[in-house]
Amino acid sequence: MVCRTLAAAIGVASIAAAVVASAEPPAGAAACSGCHPASTRVTSPVPRLAGLDRAAIVRAMEDFRSGTRASTVMDRIAKGFTEAEVQAIAAWYATQR
């Protein structure tokens, strides 16, 4: 019982930490906005990342890195980021609108 309460408390604390952390862009996220527009008013052939599903961003980065998904530049960019960095960037973009 004590254990379960403690586990729940830790769970809530880590969710809170994740929400606080998502306010500031994680390392590397600024590199994406040079090509992926932050604003909806910008017309660009490169899709916006803001609001995309977290898992979809992670999956796309993995596929670009492995070459499973064809790309012009994203293969090279994806290789420049670690798994943890991609996870953090994807989680952050998923919270943006």
Which of residues 5 and 43 has its CB atom nearest to ligand HEC in the complex? 43
Q: CA-to-CA distance for 92 and 19, rounded, in angstroms?
A: 9
Which of residues 36 and 91 has its CB atom nearest to ligand HEC in the complex? 36
Please give the residues from 2 up to 41 whose contact with ligand HEC meets the rule CB under 6 A: 28, 31-32, 34-36
Candidates 3-11, 12-20, 45-53: pick the segment binding ligand HEC (CB under 6 A).
45-53
- Name which of 47, 26, 24 is nearest 35 in CA terms: 47
CB 22 within 8 Å of CB 66? no
